[in-house]
Structure 1
Amino acid sequence: MNLHRLGQRVSAALIASVVLACAGSPSPKSGTEMGTGPVIASVFPSSGRAGEAYPIQVTVEGTGFEEEGNIVTFGGIPVEDLEASDGGTRIRFWVPKEFPSKGEAPPQIIEPGEYSIIVTTKAGTSEPVAFTLTRGTE
Structure 2
Amino acid sequence: MADTPHADGPAASAGDPVPRLLCDARELAAVDPAPTGALWRLAEAGRQLDANLVRVPPQGRIDTHVEPDLDVLLYVVAGDGTVDTDQGREPLAEGGLLWLPHGSRRSLTAGRNGLAYLTVHRRRPGMQIRSHRD
For the aligned pair, the TM-score class normalised by the smaller chain equals: under 0.3
Q: Larger Rg: 1 or 2?
A: 1
**Which structure carries more strand by proportion?**
2
Report the TM-score, using the length of structure 2 for normalisation: 0.26
Report the TM-score, using the length of structure 1 for normalisation: 0.25
**Which structure carries more helix by proportion?**
1
